[in-house]
Amino acid sequence: MNDQASDTLAALAATDFIDADHPAIRAFAAEVIGNLTDPREQAVALYYAVRDRLRYDPYTVDLSDHALKASTTLLAGRGWCQPKATLLAAACRAVGVPARVGFADVRNHLSTERLRQVMQTDTYYWHGYTAILLDGRWVKATPAFNIELCQKFQLQPLEFDGREDSIYHPFDLSGNRHMEYVNLRGDFDDVPITAIREDFARYYPQMMGLDTAANLGADFDADVEAEIAIKPLASS
How far is 212 from 100, CA to CA, in rounded Å? 30
Q: Are 111 and 119 in contact (CB under 8 A)?
A: yes
Backbone φ and ψ of 123, nearest 5°: -100, 125
Domain containing 135: what range? 3-230
> Looking at the domain assignment, is residue 46 inside a domain?
yes
The pLDDT assigned to 149 comes to 87
Would you say residue 143 lies in a domain? yes
At residue 7, what are phi and psi to the nearest 5 degrees?
A: -65, -40
Q: Which residue type, as a one-letter code, is found at position 111?
A: S
d(CA 39, CA 103): 23
| Cα torsion 191, 194, 199, 201: sign | positive
Q: Which string of DSSP letters, residue by residue, matches 108-175? A: S-S--HHHHHHH-SSEEEEEEEEEEEETTEEEEE---S-HHHHHHHT-PPPP--SSS-B---SB-TTS
- Decide: residue 156, CB within 10 A, 0-12 exposed, 13-18 middle, 19+ buried: middle
Q: Tens-digit pLDDT profile for the chain (236 aa)?
A: 445 566 789 999 999 999 999 999 999 999 999 999 999 999 999 999 999 999 999 888 899 999 999 999 999 999 999 999 999 999 999 999 999 999 999 987 677 888 888 888 888 899 999 999 999 999 999 999 999 988 887 778 899 999 999 987 666 666 666 778 889 999 999 999 999 999 999 998 877 666 666 655 678 888 888 877 776 544 43
User: What's the pLDDT score for residue 160?
Assistant: 96
Give pLDDT, residue 115. Answer: 82
Name the DSSP letter for residue 226.
H
Cβ atoms < 10 Å from Cβ of 106: 23
Residue 235 in domain:
no
236 in a structural domain: no
Q: Residue 207 domain-assigned?
A: yes
Domain contains 152: yes
Query: In DSSP terms, which residues pair with 79 in a beta bridge?
Result: 56
Q: Is 54 inside a domain boundary?
A: yes
- Give the chain's domain count: 1
Per-residue pLDDT, 235: 43
Distance (Å, whole) CA 9 – CA 4: 9
CATH number of 169's domain: 3.10.620.30
The answer to whether position 49 is within a domain reads yes
Contact between 173 and 162 under an 8 Å Cβ cutoff? The reply is no
